[in-house]
């Protein structure tokens, strides 16, 4: 009898994944731990290995389809004549996972993240809370932008009903990915063969969902300030040779990260998130700075952990390492999740001004724009200075305009006088 490989619980808060690409086809013989399929979740793209050696009998979800956690992905004939594997355990009435393992059945299939961020699929009967809800209720939750795991259940045995979802959505406590309102297909006015239709899937779909969720949930406002980077330009030039001796290609981003961390310590309401379920503001006493950068499949945010404990050179090395991992598609889920505040920079292409969209569920995001030599008035004289604009978008639900402005003023003072920045470093 074929072995059923269920969509595993890949990580905290993950309830479904998009099938990016199958590595096998029906009829193929696979070995234990051979890569089966690439799956994209809200957290990252992961590669699921085979938990059994055998022959692929049936594939249940095709490329581009959404596979909920707990649904059968693929059937593998492993030569075992016993019963099929039981599905992953479902939540009981009190939120405690109810075991569904039966005599002779294979253990449930789950995924674990190793120390290097790789995904390992293992057999387990781990006790984990799962949401009880019908497929129709789950579909409704996705359409309404509701994270079903946060919905208080009133149904029998702790089941979430459609009424529960509607009631939760009506309170405004929407935390899951927001969906763009359905619209009719645009009328084609071009000549046949002169239009191309590309499926909205994979990373592009995740970016679309994430941006829509942020815009529809957070109350954005943006504040802009001009920064005189002349002194920092001079400091960087003097430090480049020493950095090169240590194998570091020094740019301005590590200095900006240091100034941001210092500002966040003074304005902790910007290093926070909102727990929609409990209606609590969660202020973080750690500083994991997200760096938004363009990857091969679209925008990605890599995370520099504990930035407050790193030197300028160390920050530069880590930012370069993460940037390379994003560019090559090798970044792990742990390297792409868990940021507390995000910096978005296009470097020399940074432009004059932008209104960055908050990396939900964070409170704020900083936009870094290009440094350019421009005329400025200093001491009543027009002189050439290296000027740059910084823009910060803030969730007005959790922070006021004063908070965002004062934070950016603190960042400005540190960047304009790097000596004070070094004095404040840990």
| Catalytically annotated residues | 396
274/283 Cα distance (integer angstroms): 9
Per-residue H/E/C for the chain: CCEEEECCCCCCCCCEEEEEEECCCCCCEECCCCEEEEEECCCCEEEEECCCCEEEEEECCCCCCEEECCCEEEEEECCCCCCCCCCCCEECCCCCEECCCCCCCCCEEEEEECCCCCEEEEEECCCCCCCEECHHHHHHHHHHCCCHHHCCCCCHHHEECHHHHHHHHHCCCCCCCCCCCCCCCCCCCCCCCCCCCCCCCHHHHHHHHHHHHHHHHCCEEEEEEEEECHHHHHHHHHHHHHHHHCCCCCCCHHHHHHHHHHHHHHCHHHCEEEECCCCEEEECCCCCEEEEEEECCEEEEEEECCHHHCCHHHHHHHHHHHHHHHHHCCCCCHHHCCCCEEEEECHHHCCCCCCCCCCCCECEEEEECCCEEEEEEECCEEEEEEEEEEEEEEECCCCCHHHHHHHHHHHHHHHHCHHHHHHHCC
Q: Is the dihedral of CA 56, 60, 66, 72 positive or negative?
A: negative
Q: Regarding beta strands 159-160 and 132-133, do their DSSP bridges make them parallel or antiparallel, or are they unpaired?
A: parallel
Q: Are 123 and 109 in contact (CB under 8 A)?
A: yes
């Amino acid at each position: 009898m074929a072995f059923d490989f269920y969509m595993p619980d890949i990580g905290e808060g993950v309830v479904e994944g998009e099938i990016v690409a199958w590595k096998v086809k029906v009829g193929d013989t696979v070995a234990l731990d051979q890569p089966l399929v690439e799956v994209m979740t809200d957290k990252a793209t992961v590669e699921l290995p085979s938990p059994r050696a055998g022959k692929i009998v049936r594939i249940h979800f095709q490329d581009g389809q959404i596979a909920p956690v707990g649904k059968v992905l693929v059937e593998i004939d492993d030569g075992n004549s016993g019963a099929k594997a039981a599905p992953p355990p479902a939540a009981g009435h009190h939120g405690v996972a109810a075991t569904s393992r039966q005599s002779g059945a294979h253990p449930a299939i789950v995924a674990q993240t190793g120390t290097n961020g790789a995904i390992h699929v293992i057999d387990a009967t781990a006790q984990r809370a799962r949401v009880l809800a019908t497929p129709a209720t789950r579909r409704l939750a996705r359409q309404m932008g509701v994270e079903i795991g946060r919905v208080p259940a009133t149904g029998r045995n702790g089941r979430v009903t459609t009424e529960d979802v509607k009631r939760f959505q009506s309170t405004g406590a929407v935390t899951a990915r927001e969906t763009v309102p359905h619209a009719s297909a645009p009328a084609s006015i071009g000549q046949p063969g002169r239009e191309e239709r590309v499926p909205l899937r994979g990373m592009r779909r995740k970016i679309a969902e994430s941006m829509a969720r942020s815009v529809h949930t957070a109350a954005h406002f943006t504040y802009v300030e001009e920064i005189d980077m002349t002194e920092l330009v001079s400091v960087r030039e003097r430090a480049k040779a020493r950095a090169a001796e240590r194998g570091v290609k020094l740019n301005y981003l590590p200095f900006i990260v240091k100034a941001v961390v210092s500002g966040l310590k003074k304005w902790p309401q910007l290093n926070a998130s909102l727990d929609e379920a409990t209606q609590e503001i969660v202020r973080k006493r750690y500083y994991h700075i997200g760096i938004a950068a363009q990857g091969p499949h679209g925008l990605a945010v890599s995370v520099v952990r504990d930035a407050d404990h790193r030197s300028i050179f160390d920050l530069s090395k880590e930012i370069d390492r993460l940037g390379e991992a994003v560019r090559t598609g090798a970044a792990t889920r742990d390297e792409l999740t868990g940021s507390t505040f995000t910096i978005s920079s296009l470097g020399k292409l940074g432009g004059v001004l932008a209104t960055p969209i908050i990396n939900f569920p964070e409170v704020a995001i900083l936009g870094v724009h290009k440094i350019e030599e421009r005329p400025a008035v200093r001491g009543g004289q027009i002189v050439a200075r290296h000027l740059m604009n910084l823009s910060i978008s803030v969730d007005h639900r959790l922070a006021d305009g004063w908070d965002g402005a004062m934070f950016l003023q603190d960042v400005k003072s540190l960047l304009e006088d790097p000596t004070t920045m070094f004095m404040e470093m840990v």
